[in-house]
Amino acid sequence: MTTLSQQPGWIYLLRDYLDLYRNGSAGGSAKIRSHQHLVSRTLGKILTSDPPFADVDAMQLPVCVHLQRAIDNASHQTTAAITKSVQAMGVFLKWQYGYEKVPKGLEKKYAYAEVLGPNGPVFSDELILGLVLFAPRTTYPTHNHNGITESYIVLSGSTSENDVGVYSPGSLIFNPPGQMHRITTADREPCLLAYAWSGAQGDLIGQKMVFSKPGQRT
Ligand SMILES: [Fe+2]
């Protein structure tokens, strides 16, 4: 176990997360602004505290063949800086499914990698930050997060949530605790999202990626 101060690549990536949450627009929503403030304030505090760091066992999954394309597609977007930082840390990321049994059809189309949280590589029990990568034409089934406030920021590609709207690089999707949501990506290009989860320490530590039927809480 070491500390973050000895890991410049992870510091750059976390500073880019901080920029996203500190300088992104809330679109006039008080609830979204409050979440952005909470994430940026907590992350700023974590960075100042020089938290523990431990390398995770890097892992690739089939969807990773789309990562370079996602990074290339973001090169002229407002999210270019953070996607370059993701690229720099690519070989150190542990891409995983997070399910004991991967939902049928998602094995080649989806994975997530944690950047900060109770499981590392940067340790915190106050916040979880990570990345989600989707292949083109993917639907991530309906789910919610009990006790967790979630935001996704689109880094590359486009996606819709619950047939409500289409979100492009720089857009923030906000899911308050318990809200059911389903993500669908565009037909021809991959989609890379950054996510932040805030909540009580007990909820963050116990959180797992699971799906649920409408009306059921996880
Ligand atoms: Fe979610």
pTM to 2 decimals?
Answer: 0.93
Which amino acid, 39? V
- Output the CA 41–ligand 1 centroid distance in Å: 22
- Domain 55-206 sits in CATH at 2.60.120.10
When pLDDT is cut at 50, 70 and 90, the band that residue 160 belongs to is very high
State the distance from the centre of ligand 1 to the C-alpha of 2, rounded, in angstroms: 31
CA 152 to ligand 1 center in whole angstroms: 8
Rounded to the nearest angstrom, the distance between the alpha carbon of 200 and the centre of ligand 1 is: 17
Q: Tens digit of pLDDT for each residue in 99-149?
A: 767 778 899 999 999 999 999 899 999 999 999 999 999 999 888 888 899
Evaluate whether 12 touches 85 at the Cβ level (below 8 Å).
yes
Q: Over the stretch 42-75, which tens digit does the pLDDT of each residue have?
A: 999 999 999 999 999 999 999 999 999 999 999 9
In the reported structure, the alpha carbon of residue 10 is separated from the centroid of ligand 1 by a whole-number distance in angstroms of: 24
Q: DSSP string covering the chain, please?
A: -EEGGG-HHHHHHHHHHHHHHHHS--TT-HHHHHHHHHHHHHHHHHHHT--EE-----B--GGGGGHHHHHHHTTTSTTHHHHHHHHHTGGG-BEE--SSSPPTT-TTTEEEEEEEETTSSEE-SS-EEEEEEE-SS-EEEEE--TTEEEEEEEEES-EEETTTEEE-TT-EEEE-TT--EEEEE-SSS-EEEEEEEEE-HHHHHH-------TT---
Ligand 1 centroid–CA 142 distance in Å is: 8
Banded model confidence at residue 218, pLDDT cuts 50, 70, 90? very low
Q: Give CA–CA dist 116/156, Å, rounded.
A: 20
Ligand 1 centroid, distance to 137 Cα (angstroms):
18
- CA distances, 106 to each of 26, 112, 133, 166 (Å): 31, 12, 11, 21
